[in-house]
Structure 1
Amino acid sequence: MTKVPEEKDKKKAKTPYTAPALEKGLDIIELLSGEESGLTLSEIATKLSRSTSEIFRMLAVLDRRGYLSTESGRDTYVLTMKLFELSHQHSLVKRLTGASLPIMQKLAPAIEQSCHLSVYHRGKVLVIGQRDSQMDLGFRVKLGSEIDLVDTCSGHVLMAFAEDDMLKQMLQERAGDSFKKSALMARLKKVREQGYESKQSQQVSGVRDISYPVFGYTSEVLAAITVPYLERLDNAPHPTFDQVKEMLSAAAHSISLQLGYKPE
């Protein structure tokens, strides 16, 4: 009987496959994701410790495929929104935006405030849906923004209603350790008990955020819908903070029902 070389097969299975061209392209995309103003060819090559000739070929392909662009009159490369657009084709994101955007479209003008929908993504909060109030003055969070998990209203909601294993993963993936875990856990307990989070923004002075969870058909938290509330000082009648909070709660509930959520 021929002996099967199991150990040899195991070692072979553990050997990582390599695709140098693909890895170079991904290195460029990941590098530019952290460079809001873009980088030049030589800057990219230097940061990646590669030659300008091999980087130039990769940039040309990524530019042609729509992942990168160069501003007129400048030689810097910046990421386009194509990756964000592709992420919207993911079934979960499509379900969330499909259920939420019509409701948010009605909510924003009714409360005279902007609103946005966020999900958890690799240690951060990612804004996947946004609607403006159509008022002359206001504040909004840009679509596609990645914001902090620990210091934001939406981050607190996503963590507060997450299962224990998921919460542990979220905290592990969140970059940095500049927070007190005991204080955070106490805050998350309060958010879960009251069903929402509301606090002064730690990013913008004068903004008071309100955020509610959006649940799926298995009762898992899928997203957070948030209003960055601005108090208006003119004499015209406007929805009060409590009224905005009540309408936001109803909107979150409606979106959850659209996603198949069945309240206990």
Structure 2
Amino acid sequence: MAETNSVKYNAPALDKGLDILEYLSKEGIPLTQAEIAQGIHRTPSEIYRMLVCLEARGYVVRGANAGKYRLSLKMYSLSHTHTPFDELKRVASYPMQLLSEKTRQSCHLSIMNNDQLLIISQMRSPDAVSLSIEEGTHFPLSMTTSGIIMLSTLSAKKRKEILSRDKYYKTWNKDQKEQLNSEIDRVTKLGYRAEASKLTSGVTDIAVSIGGNAELRAVLAVSVFTSSLKEELKVESILKSMEETKAEINKFIGG
């Protein structure tokens, strides 16, 4: 169960404890000490103290009769004390602030909620005049750069299912639908998108994905006055700064 890759610091006891928790979660049924030991390729005596500790801390529960171990609800309770998106907002705040200061532009973070894009965090530009996208606002996935980035992170099956419910997509003809799907494929290969906004004239949106696992997907975006791009800013320089911010946020969330 434990990773075989070499690490700078080893923690054998922690490895054994995590192996036990992961194996019990994977199997999904109560198991004896011997069965757990066999499953994680250790001896029963090796894991005895770990099981005693995990039981004392409330992470596993042992049946009164057969003495089999199962996971308690403690892991569930801990994982729901704060949602993953609460933690994402927290760790993304400082990197987003640095991005805003470096590019002199506002940036925002969004997730998918009820088949729409939901803005969960915004960092305003330090300049006197800038674009602002309020937290809590919903936008259609099919009509936004961030939405297309989000769709590009999904499986083809999941994407098709979501678009079948999109109020804009449902009214489009075959060519329009094919154009969107081709754009999603293009973005999947590039890893970013920079296009004029379909919802706000005179604005260009630049976006990259954050995270990547099934539980935590988000999009980091910068919205810029298109005229500014022509005069003093370059998409490439903004994108470079966004990629650095993306790497910093992913480092904190394990993306």
Q: Identify the TM-score tier after normalising by the shorter chain.
A: 0.5 to 0.7
Post-superposition shift, 1:175? 2.8
TM-aligned CA deviation for residue 256 of structure 1: 1.6
Q: In the superposition, relative to structure 1, how do residues 163 and 90 fare at CA in structure 2: closer, same or farther (>3 Å)?
A: farther
2:164 is paired with a residue whose SS is helix
Matches within 5 A, 1:152-191: 152-176=144-168, 177-179=170-172, 180-191=176-187
Match of residue 242, structure 1, among 221, 230, 236:
236
CA distance in 2, matches of 1:254, 1:203: 30
Give CA deviations for 1:66-124 in whole Å, capped at 9, x if unaligned: xxxxxxxxxxxxxxxxxxxxxxx851211210221111111111101100001111121
What is the TM-score normalised by the length of structure 1?
0.59
Name which of 233, 236, 246 aligns with 1:252. 246
Which amino acid is 2:121 matched to? G
Aligned to 2:211: 215
Could you tell me how far 1:231 is from its partner in structure 2? 5.0
Q: Deviations over 1:6-61 (max 9, x none)?
A: xxxxxxxxxxxxxxxxxxxxxxxxxxxxxxxxxxxxxxxxxxxxxxxxxxxxxxxx
Q: Does 1:228 align with 2:223?
A: yes
Cα RMSD, aligned residues only: 2.1
Alpha-carbon distance, 1:136 to partner: 0.9
Runs of 4+ displaced beyond 4 Å? none
Counterpart-to-counterpart distance in 2, 1:165 and 1:95: 29
Unmatched 5+ stretches in structure 1: 1-88
- Structure 2 unaligned blocks of 5 or more: 1-80
TM-score by length of 2: 0.61
Shift of 1:241: 2.6
Distance in 2 (alpha carbons) for counterparts of 1:199 and 1:141: 17
Q: 2-side partners of 1:198 and 1:221: how far apart? A: 23
Deviation, 1:239, is 4.7
Give, in whole Å, the separation in 1 of the partners of 2:152 and 2:200: 23
Q: 2:90 aligns with which of 89, 93, 98?
A: 98
Q: Tell me, yes or no, if the aligned pair for 2:105 and 2:130 is still in contact at 8 Å.
A: yes
Amino acid at match of 1:109: E
Answer yes or no: is 1:132 the counterpart of 2:124.
yes
Give the Å deviation of 1:181. 2.1
Corresponding residue pairs, total: 169
The letter of the residue matching 2:138 is E
Residue 253 of structure 1 deviates from its aligned partner by 2.1
- What amino acid is aligned across from residue 128 of structure 1 in structure 2? I
CA–CA distance in structure 1, aligned partners of residues 118 and 147 of structure 2: 10
Q: 1:184 to 1:232 in 2, by over 3 A?
A: closer
Give me the identity figure in percent: 23
